[in-house]
Structure 1
């Protein structure tokens, strides 16, 4: 947990979203969605703790899929 170590940013590589995509139709989007849910949960639990979420994607198509998924989160 970032808060335990006084960290203010966390980065996730959207693994298995490029050439090793597995069986998911949108692996970058699914990875981004799960990261987004975890981030939202963290900031709800600690609203006064500033932390940035950084995602890295395999390429521009994966980046766009991840961005679209994050923008559609409730």
Structure 2
């Protein structure tokens, strides 16, 4: 049953609230405390890291020849 059908079935005015105001306020406060109803935060711009300097490669130890 839609809100309009409910109002007409019980002879209520068109502006009659379907939800009690105090209940609506409690639900609104709960949703706001949970972070609902807000636009997502803008992501922070990604900072480019300074290019890393490559360390000089160390020479691999020479294998000793087996005699």
Q: Output the TM-score relative to the length of structure 1.
A: 0.28
Higher relative contact order (CA 8 A, sep 6+): 1
- Between Structure 1 and Structure 2, whose CA radius of gyration is higher? 2
Q: Which has the higher helix share?
A: 1
Q: Which has the higher strand share?
A: 1
Q: Output the TM-score relative to the length of structure 2.
A: 0.29
